[in-house]
Amino acid sequence: MVKMLGLIFACFSLFSEAVATDKFPVNLQIPLASGYGVLPYELPAAGTYALPPLGVAHDGQVLDSAGQRISLHEVFGGQYILLSFIYSTCNDVNGCPLSSHVSYQLKAEMRQNALLADNFKLVSISFDPQRDTPAVMKLYAENFKYAGKAGDWQFLTTDSVASLAPILDSYKQDIQREYSLDGQQTTDFSHILRVFLIDPEHKIRNIYSVRFLHKDAVLNDIETLFMQAGMKGFAADNEAKILRQPSKNGFGPGDNKQGYETDAYVTRSEALNHRQGRFADLRALVNQPPLGLPPIPNNDALDLTTAKITLGRRLFYDRRLSLNETFSCAMCHIPEQGFTSNELSTAVGLEGRSVRRNSPTIYNVAYATKLFHDGRESTLEQQVWGPLLARNEMANPSVGHVINKLKSIPDYAGLFEAAFSGKSPSMETVGAALAAYQRSLLSANSAFDRWYYGKDANALNQKQKTGFTLFTQKAGCATCHVIGERSALLTDNQLHNTGLGYATSMHIPGEKRLVQIAPGVTVEVDQAIIDKVGAPKAADLGRYEITQNPEDRWKYKTPTLRNIALTAPYMHDGRFSTLGEVVRFYNEGGITNPLLSPHIRPLALDALEVEALVAFLQALTGDNIELLVADAFAAPIGDHRRQDQQ
Amino acid sequence: MMDFGKMLGDEEAMKRFGNTVVAWDLHAKKPKKVMDVPGAPLEIRCAWGANHDYCFTTTALTSKIWLIDEDQNGEWQANDVADIGDPSKIPLPVDISISSDDTKLWVNTFMDGKTRLFDISDPKKPNQVYEAQIGDMVNMVSSSWDGKRLYYTTSLLGNWDKKEGDQFIKLYEWDGDKLNQKFEIDFYALKLGKPHQMRFGAYSLYNMAQTFSAKPKSEIVSN
């Protein structure tokens, strides 16, 4: 071992007692990386963790140690790879010698591990093509022959710095040659050691640094990958394929903040573990809406095919449809948060830009005759261009920008033509596709539907039945949230003034504002401080902004109440966090103002009646939430780490 | 990040601040322990000493210093150990800097633009020994290894900075008693935008051998 290393690592010695001389005194001050010795901690058991892809292991043009031109991917040959960047004159004991040492140990391991020898390969590539010619790499390789003949360790270089550059770039290897004081090039490079573990699909699965590059850590990771792949000798590990377990509130946000207002609150976030979805047959849903919903308006004319719906779904979740490729429709219409956002009262667009209003849900949007809170748009096909082009939402600079991008992305090739009888991406087809997917998000057959339309007397409990009676009689909610004879949209598709918009417009902020800063901790903050760090709040006059009719000031659209339990916070500006607050608001008679809708009046409900109404509202949740959310989870998102990517 | 003022007025968003410190198993990429640290912990700085197994963080919203340390049973614990300024005024601590001998902790508070020096010789009982006004707002503080030079920046986040306020980098010298300003770079005046973070690098960190050497390679020896 010492002899072997002594040949190459001439300027440094590792073992003081063996090789110290006058010419090469030993530096006792550099701590050896743990890769040379024993790991000072225990590794997690192989297979108990995942190694999600960190990126793509790109191809490049290299020379093997016989001088033959070959590509990196050809060298990889469909195996698991440990790829190190080295140079032969490296004299940093914790640099290239370390990675070669670990590779050496792994090569030696292959003598007794046939699975490793057959499926795993070591690759060292030089980043000094000027000195490290194929002949030099062959010489370098010679020193590792003591590891035995099992398995394969390839020593590569390139024919020039220019050929090497794209490889360094794609593996994010930043290297700088060092210069002496008189400006001469030295043989040293300054770089940060990174060793890559790559799988047969050319995905990078781990990147080791000096801190933890160790034969045991690498073997542990390889074993984990082998187990995941179900390779012979290991039981197949399906951990990575588990559908995300639904959280207790049924596929809700991963972070349940119930009880945050008390200091007894304890964090209960759920990690997004191996989330993988399952496509549903949305077309079947469209052709046969669940109990409680009427047929989709214009269903025949729309001709919603699976191809259109699938394409629309792909677009809905594609983050590349925004100016900086970070925002998809689903960033504000989050599937597991009721296709809205439970975590924001009003939306936030690209680069943190402020949006005035709360994101409406997409559930059952097929039946909306007016879109947006102010009802300014009439069809879903047209509506999509609102958020796509809004500067404070997805911020695309033009229609053409989106269309041209779609035309250039390989994974959309042919999809529009196939779905729309030969038509390419256009304003019309993009709208039609997205609308097709959105129309398929039908959700009903709730406890209420089964009780009212399905005549199942036990589908609702007594409290909920009482709530229904209040809803349709004393509280009069059904005036605007309409329930029909054979189906219920729970909206009249009209716009009304409840006083909320008026209150916001006319409200003169107090000197202080209550802000909750931690569980159970609320402070009064000077409004002046808030003003210093905030842009002035945009005005919102509701429907008036569209019609210019003063009678329409502060009128907002009646939303559907289907799935209302899933779509907190409530109202056009998300000001109410709970259904209780909403019901109490209406119980007070909304907010008095000259344009208050005549339907809004104090209801004189007592606390129990309020509870009953809330219970009824909670019975309006459709029975297919998991189906639709799992379908959403399966959709590609424009993520380079996953297979669905270019 | 969204507009700061909009966020302070958004009840749901205000519940979504981070409120944990997590000790990770980096190999398994899984949490080893999740500690509740309510009030939005921002930066963590660990003590340098070989046997000083503790770290500090500060919570931006509740304005407290938290100590994260290992108890006798080897369990990591998080406890709040000091207030920073008057928490009810939301001074908003942002960046902190621990001295190389683990005795001092500089804490910057964004909203009031101050820097504060805490004596952390007893990590369980930090106490403030000095404060100075740096500007309308202040973000990061970077200290030289010997603790004599301190650099300050002003910008926290584009959408969160005070709409009216200076943007600069300042250098101060710490003489043991007070900070003395040495220079200021006015970013607005020089049209440089907003300074957020500073990085102090050294070439020699990347290579143990002499970086700039007059001697030929074969004679290089390490000291």
Amino acid at A629: V
Q: How far is A269 from chain B (nearest CA, A)?
A: 10
Residue of A nearest to B34 (CA): A267
Identify any residues that bridge with B83 across adjacent strands, giving them in sequence order.
B64
pLDDT > 70? residue A641: no
How many angstroms separate the CA atoms of A487 and A361, rounded? 19
Measured between beta carbons, the chain A residues lying within 8 angstroms of B212 are 179-181
Q: Is the peptide bond before A559 cis (omega within 30 degrees of 0)?
A: no
Q: Do B20 and A569 touch (CB under 8 A)?
A: no
Return the residue in A177, A533, A581 with the most chain B beta carbons within 10 A, the one to mutate for interface testing.
A533
Tokens 């390889």 -> residue:
A222
Q: Residue A78 is which amino acid?
A: G
> Across the interface, do B10 and A574 touch by the CB < 8 Å criterion?
yes
Residue whose structure tokens are 């902020």: A509
Tokens read off for A259: 């009880």
Looking at the complex, does the CB of residue A338 fall below 8 Å from at least one CB of chain B? no
**Contact (Cβ atoms closer than 8 angstroms) between residue A345 and residue A575:** yes
Asked if pLDDT for residue B190 goes beyond 70, the answer is: yes
Average pLDDT (A612-620) is 98
Interface contact A517-B90, CB threshold 8 A: yes
Residues of A in contact with B165 (CB under 8 A): 532
State which residue of chain B sits closest to A192, comparing Cα positions. B206
Express each pLDDT in A210-232 by its tens digit.
Answer: 989 999 999 999 999 999 888 86
Percent of chain B with pLDDT over 90: 75
The conformation of residue A377, written as its DSSP 8-state character, comes to: B
Q: Is A414 exposed, middle or buried (0-12, 13-18, 19+ CB in 10 A)?
A: exposed
Q: CB-CB: which of A180, A186, A344 is closest to B13? A: A344
- Judged by CB atoms closer than 8 Å, whether chains meet at B2 and A348 is answered as yes
Residue in A269, A354, A518 closest to B6 by CB? A354
The 10s digit of each residue's pLDDT in B155-175 is 999 889 998 889 999 999 999
- CB contact at 8 A, B61 and B92: yes
Our separate counts of H helices and E strands in chain B read 2, 14
Q: What integer is the mean pLDDT of A32-47?
A: 90
How much is the ipTM here? Answer: 0.82
* Residue A252: per-residue pLDDT: 64
**A44 vs B15: CB contact, 8 Å cut-off?**
no
A 240-269: CB under 8 A from B: 255, 257, 260, 265-267, 269
Give first-to-last CA distance, chain B, whole Å: 49
- pLDDT of B202 over the 80 cut: no
- Does the beta-carbon distance from A186 to B217 stay under 8 Å? yes
**Interface touch B208/A535, C-beta < 8 Å:** no
- For the stretch A533-542, pLDDT in tens is 889 889 999 9
With a cut of 90, say whether residue A391 has pLDDT above it: yes
Q: In what order do the strands lie in the sheet with B76-83?
A: B41-46, B54-59, B64-70, B76-83
* Cβ contact, residue pair B163, A523, below 8 Å: no
Stated as kind and residue range, the H or E segment containing B168 is strand B168-174
Cα(A537)–Cα(B6) distance, integer angstroms: 8
Judge: B6–A535 Cβ closer than 8 Å, yes or no. Answer: yes
pLDDT at A271: 60
How far, CA to CA in Å, does B221 sit from each of A594, B50, B211? 88, 28, 12
Interface of A with B in 129-188 (CB under 8 A): 178-182, 186-188
Least confident of A250-254, A528-532, B120-124: A250-254
Query: For the stretch A174-202, what's the b/e string if a residue is b when 16 or more beta carbons lie within 10 angstroms of its beta carbon?
Result: eeeebebeeeeebbbbbbebbbbbbbeeb
Reading the block at residue A482, the tokens are 């309409």
What span, in angstroms and rounded, lies between the C-alpha atoms of A194 and A191?
A: 9
C-alpha distance from residue A411 to each of A631, A636, B80 (Å): 19, 10, 52
Q: How many CB atoms lie within 10 A of CB A41?
A: 10
Whether residue B39 and residue A518 make contact (CB cut-off 8 A), yes or no, is yes
Q: Which of B46, B76, B44 is nearest to B60 (CA)?
A: B44
Cα–Cα distance, A236 to A26 (Å, whole number): 49
DSSP-assigned beta bridge partners for residue B180: B173
Q: Which residues pair with A120 in a beta bridge?
A: A80
3-class DSSP state for residue A393? coil
Name all contacts of A396-404 with Cβ < 8 Å and 24+ positions apart. Answer: A396/A321, A396/A322, A396/A323, A397/A323, A399/A427, A401/A323, A402/A321, A402/A430, A403/A427, A403/A430
Q: Is the pLDDT of residue A24 over 90?
A: no
CB B8 within 8 A of CB A525: yes
Whether pLDDT at A555 is above 50: yes
Assess A534–B contact: CB distance below 8 Å, yes or no. yes
According to the model, what pLDDT value does residue A253 have?
Answer: 67
Using a pLDDT cut of 70, give the percent of chain A over it: 89
Confidence of residue A20 (pLDDT cuts 50, 70, 90): very low
Joined together, the tokens standing for residue A515 give 């802000």
Query: CA-based Rg of chain B, rounded to a whole angstrom?
Result: 20
Shortest Cα distance, chain B CAs vs residue A283, angstroms: 35
Q: Please check whether residue B115 is in contact with residue B132, taking contact to mean a CB–CB distance below 8 angstroms.
A: yes
Residues in A touching B27 (Cβ below 8 Å): 43-44, 49, 212, 217, 220-221
pLDDT at B204: 53
Q: Does B203 sit within 8 Å of A530, measured CB to CB?
A: no
What whole-number distance in Å separates Cα of residue A613 and Cα of residue A468?
7
| Residue A234 one-letter amino acid | F
Angstroms from A331 CA to nearest CA on chain B: 14
C-alpha to C-alpha distances, A183 to A127, A643, B213, B215, B219, nearest whole angstrom: 21, 48, 10, 12, 18
Two structure tokens written together for A397: 């600079």
A14 pLDDT higher than 50:
no
Give the sign of the dihedral formed by CA A182, CA A184, CA A187, CA A191: positive
Arithmetic mean of pLDDT, A247-257: 61
Q: Which residues of B fall within a CB distance of 8 Å from A27?
A: 208, 222-223
- The string over A270-304, giving b where at least 16 C-beta atoms fall within 10 Å of a residue's C-beta and e elsewhere, is eeeeeeeeeebebbebbeebbbbbeebeeeeebeb
| Whether A533 and B26 lie within 8 Å, measured CB to CB | no
Neighbouring CB atoms inside 10 A of A150's CB total 16
**pLDDT band at A6, cuts 50/70/90?**
very low
Q: Which residues of B touch A535 (CB under 8 A)?
A: 3, 5-6, 163
Radius of gyration of chain A (CA): 32
Q: Are A432 and A381 in contact (CB under 8 A)?
A: yes
Q: Between chains, do A49 and B8 touch, taking CB under 8 Å as contact?
A: no
pLDDT-derived band of residue A13, with 50, 70 and 90 as boundaries?
very low
What's chain A's average pLDDT?
Answer: 89
Query: Which pLDDT tens digit goes with each residue over A185-204?
Result: 888 888 889 999 999 999 99
CA distances (Å), B155 to each of B92, B168, B171, in order? 13, 8, 15
Mean pLDDT of A454-478: 97
Which own/partner pairs from A30-33 qualify as long-range (CB within 8 Å, at least 24 positions apart)? Answer: A30/A93, A30/A94, A30/B208, A30/B222, A32/A93, A32/A94, A33/A93, A33/A94, A33/A98, A33/A210, A33/A211, A33/A213
Give the DSSP letter of residue B146. T
CB distance from A21 to chain B under 8 Å? no
Q: Is A212 on the interface with B (CB under 8 A)?
A: yes
Rounded distance, CA A630 to CA A277, Å? Answer: 5
pLDDT at position A411: 87
| Cβ proximity of A83 and A73 under 8 Å | no
pLDDT band at A638 (very low <50, low <70, confident <90, very high): low
Q: Retrieve residue A44's tokens.
A: 């997690």
Residue with the two structure tokens 């966020």: B7
H/E element, A167: helix A161-170
Prediction pTM value: 0.79
Chain A nearest-CA distance from B100, in A, is: 19
DSSP letters of A460-506?
S-HHHHHHHHHHHTTS-GGGTS---SS---S--S-EE--SHHHHHHH
DSSP string, B97-109: EE-TTSSEEEEEE
Average of per-residue pLDDT across A6-34:
52
Are B131 and B141 in contact by the 8 Å Cβ rule? The answer is no
Question: Cβ(A303)–Cβ(A414) under 8 Å?
Answer: no
pLDDT score at A233: 60
DSSP β-bridge partners for residue A523: A515
Q: Which of A164-178, A233-247, A578-592, B1-15 has the lowest mean pLDDT?
A: A233-247
Helix (H, G, I), strand (E, B) or coil at B12: helix
3-state DSSP helix/strand/coil percent for chain A, to nearest 5? 35, 10, 55
From residue A26, alpha-carbon distances to A92, B150, B155 in Å are: 13, 37, 47
Which residue in the set A52, A180, A220 is minimally distant from B212, CB to CB?
A180
